[in-house]
Amino acid sequence: MKDGYYSIEQVFRIKAWDFASAGEASSQIKKILKQLGIDPALTRRVTIAAYEAEMNLIIHSVGGEMRLKVTPQSIIVTAEDRGPGIPDIALAMQEGYSTAPEIARELGFGAGMGLPNIKRCADRLNIQSSVGKGTLLEMYFDIKAG
């Protein structure tokens, strides 16, 4: 990472069903990490996870926000929405499980691989969800020294 750099935090608002802006937050995240000189392989993992989380906010939630936090040791991406929540997180984590509506499937979404992909990409994943209230996804990525 570049010298003199300490830590940054950036917030992105994500609107439900806004396919026109889909992928903008994760593109911005990729750009910021590139500018910070983060290792390309790590940047790629973060961008994939951020993209899947962003699409889930667009397709499955009423909207919310994503946050990127970068410190010298770690990259943390969070996705928080205001509902409808996930009734069964273990089920939602299964490969191929999807409740995506037909219109999203027609656009090529709804393979049910988003959450499993996020789990694979992140060094640590924390999901909290409450039906009727919302979902919080916290994705942690370690920055290795050197």
Ligand X SMILES: Nc1ncnc2c1ncn2[C@@H]1O[C@H](COP(=O)(O)OP(=O)(O)O)[C@@H](O)[C@H]1O
Please say which residue, 64 or 114, places its beta carbon nearer to Mg ion: 114
Q: CB of residue 14 vs Mg ion: minimum separation in angstroms?
A: 13
The β-bridge partners of 35 are none
Q: CB of residue 114 vs Mg ion: minimum separation in angstroms?
A: 3
Q: Which residues of 101-121 are buried (b: 16+ CB within 10 A; e: fewer)?
A: eeebeeeebbebebbbbbbeb
List the structure tokens of 57: 């906010």
Please say which residue, 32 or 113, places its beta carbon nearer to Mg ion: 113
Local structure of 35: helix, strand or coil: helix
List the structure tokens of 74: 């770690």
DSSP state of 73: S
Q: CB of residue 21 vs ligand X: minimum separation in angstroms?
A: 16
* H-helix or E-strand spanning residue 115: helix 114-121
List the structure tokens of 73: 């040791």
Number of residues that bind Mg ion (CB under 5 A): 2
Is-contact 81 64, C-beta < 8 A? yes
Other C-beta atoms lying within 10 Å of the C-beta of residue 16: 15
Q: CB of residue 109 vs Mg ion: minimum separation in angstroms?
A: 7
Please say which residue, 44 or 65, places its beta carbon nearer to ligand X: 65
Please say which residue, 26 or 56, places its beta carbon nearer to Mg ion: 56
Q: CB of residue 111 vs Mg ion: minimum separation in angstroms?
A: 8
The CB-nearest residue to Mg ion is 114
Instruction: Name the site residues for ligand X (rule: CB under 6 A).
Output: 52, 56-57, 59-61, 81, 84, 86, 92, 97-100, 109-115, 135
114 binds Mg ion (CB under 5 A): yes
Q: Which residues bind Mg ion (CB under 5 A)?
A: 56, 114
